[in-house]
Amino acid sequence: MARGRKRERKIKIKVSDILNPELQDVFVGVNGRHWLIKVGSVVEIPESVYEALQHAEIDKVLPNGQVIRVKRYNVEVLGIEGEDIGAPTPSSVEQATEETLSPS
């Protein structure tokens, strides 16, 4: 853990492609740090990354021309560090790949 950086609790999630069957891996950036989350896999991510996924929305145009905001990703929470949410948890958990990209 870097100096000055508060340790975040981890959230165990699964991002499914149910909302978008063509969805590949999901790239998330928070405060200069970046993660690549494999769709369909169970991963543990920091809480701030989970919050970014929850706030990601897209515009959808309905057949009548009305535009609505919808969630971009279907995120299933399987566990929260330090809490018992009563959900079954798979035995194998992957770590989301954190990529630290240098500024352009």
**Cβ atoms of residues 76 and 14 within 8 Å:** yes
pLDDT digits (tens, 9 = 90+) for 15-39: 987 767 777 889 999 999 999 998 8
CB 78 within 8 A of CB 87: yes
pLDDT digits (tens, 9 = 90+) for 67-99: 999 988 889 999 888 776 554 444 444 555 555
Model pLDDT, residue 51 = 94
pTM score of the predicted model? 0.70
> CA–CA separation, 41 vs 23, rounded Å?
13
The contacts of residue 49 (CB under 8 Å, 6+ apart) are 11, 28, 30, 35, 37, 96
